[in-house]
Amino acid sequence: MTRKQMVTYGLLVLGLGLAAYLLWNIFSQYTWSDITASVAEIPTFNLVLALAFTAASYVCLTGFDWCGVRYVENDLAYQKIGLASFISLAVGQSVGLAGLSSGGLRYRYYAHWGMDTEDVAKIVLMSGVTVAIGLAMLTGVVMIINPADGAEVLRIGEPAVLAIGIGCLLVVAAYLALARFARAPVRIRKWTFQMPTLKLALAQVVIGTLNFALVAAALREVMGAAGDVSYLKAATAYVLANIAIIITHAPGGLGVLEATVRHVMGDKASIGSLVAFRVIYYFIPLAIGIPLALVTEAVFKSRKGNGSPPVAGASKAG
């Protein structure tokens, strides 16, 4: 086993250990009947809306890959991009270390459609940048529009919250400025990178922000049993939870998301709402993604056995 593999597996074990501790800390005070009763209290209408927001979020996530594929100047059809994106992220977001797990799945699909390792690496990189830009944009908007909730959650003054919000928006503005003016490529070993076009960078900002906004909306809906929950406060809780997840690398944010949202929202984040959100946003897509991956793999092998060409629709854009 290489040193890199040892570090990767070590981080995964630490993440799982942290997730187990946090989950035990959250759920140990409840019985199974308490949890099921809490889930049952969530209005059906709210659950349906949460499912709709989740579906819309996963559509946005296909846009992450679309930006990456267009960045490497490939005209692969959206249907194939959507398939690779959904399967990769449905599995990767639940397994954890999404950059590695979803990246490996992406390579399986995009390589089958004619892309090389450098192209796939750039697609994964662009997806990660879209995540960061979207999270920064939503954080900035939430902190500026609703500094009172941010101050309450972070236990700092409103001027400091406003400063954080402005700083996040300045990061996004700087990224767009680099996309507009920094055109010189950067060479790292044998690979060459350069900023995306301004049009593509704007697409990243819009798609990334909309994705996080939709997931925050799904989270708000499952907290409907606790009464009227402010969208901005739910968005603040989700933004902070995502920052914690990125730092800890816990698989699917397991335990970290629940602990952070519970800390921010208090009793409004009932145990049932946390369970419902994880089932809706993580487990249902995973339950769809795994069989879809198996079917897709069978199709690939069948076509390979029949001698069908694997590269249809994957030429470079002229």
Indicate whether 12 belongs to any domain. no
Query: Does position 126 have pLDDT exceeding 80, yes or no?
Result: yes
Predicted TM-score (pTM) of this structure: 0.82
Positive or negative torsion for Cα 205, 207, 210, 211? negative
Indicate whether 309 belongs to any domain. no
Contact at 8 Å (CB) between 209 and 140?
Answer: no
Q: Are strands 191-193 and 186-188 parallel, antiparallel or unpaired?
A: antiparallel
pLDDT score recorded for residue 269 = 78
pLDDT score recorded for residue 8 = 47
Query: Does position 200 have pLDDT exceeding 90, yes or no?
Result: yes
pLDDT tier for residue 130 given thresholds of 50, 70 and 90 = very high
pLDDT tier for residue 262 given thresholds of 50, 70 and 90 = confident
Query: Does position 64 have pLDDT exceeding 90, yes or no?
Result: yes
pLDDT tier for residue 92 given thresholds of 50, 70 and 90 = confident
pLDDT score recorded for residue 266 = 77
Arithmetic mean of pLDDT over the chain: 81
pLDDT tier for residue 318 given thresholds of 50, 70 and 90 = very low
Average pLDDT over residues 89-106: 69
Indicate whether 177 belongs to any domain. yes
pLDDT tier for residue 30 given thresholds of 50, 70 and 90 = low
Average pLDDT over residues 184-198: 78
Query: Does position 37 have pLDDT exceeding 60, yes or no?
Result: yes
CA atoms within 13 A of residue 133's CA, in its CB half-sphere? 23
**Structural domain harbouring 83:** 36-303
Residue matched to tokens 């630490």 = 14
Residue matched to tokens 């959206």 = 78
Average pLDDT over residues 141-170: 87
Contacts of 46 (CB under 8 A, 6+ apart): 221, 222, 224, 225
Indicate whether 221 belongs to any domain. yes
What token pair was written down for 297?
């793999």
Q: Which residue has the higher pLDDT, 168 or 91?
A: 168
Contacts of 310 (CB under 8 A, 6+ apart): 112, 113, 114, 300, 303, 304
Among the listed ranges 130-134, 146-150, 223-227, 304-308, which one has the minimum average pLDDT value? Answer: 304-308
Residue type, 232: L
Q: Which residue has the higher pLDDT, 35 or 71?
A: 71
Indicate whether 9 belongs to any domain. no
Contacts of 130 (CB under 8 A, 6+ apart): 63, 64, 67, 204, 207, 208
Average pLDDT over residues 222-231: 77
Average pLDDT over residues 24-32: 56
**55-128-317-190 Cα dihedral, nearest 10 degrees:** -160
Indicate whether 50 belongs to any domain. yes
pLDDT score recorded for residue 85 = 92
Average pLDDT over residues 177-185: 86
Closest CA to 279 of 218, 209, 224: 218
What total of structural domains would you count in the chain?
A: 1
Indicate whether 42 belongs to any domain. yes
Q: Which residue has the higher pLDDT, 107 or 213?
A: 213
Query: Does position 312 have pLDDT exceeding 50, yes or no?
Result: no
State how far the Cα of 11 lies from the Cα of 249, in Å rounded to an integer.
7
Indicate whether 246 belongs to any domain. yes
166-170 long-range Cβ contacts below 8 angstroms, 24+ apart:
166/140, 167/140, 168/136, 168/137, 168/139, 168/140, 168/143, 169/136, 169/137, 169/140, 169/141, 169/144
Query: Does position 32 have pLDDT exceeding 90, yes or no?
Result: no
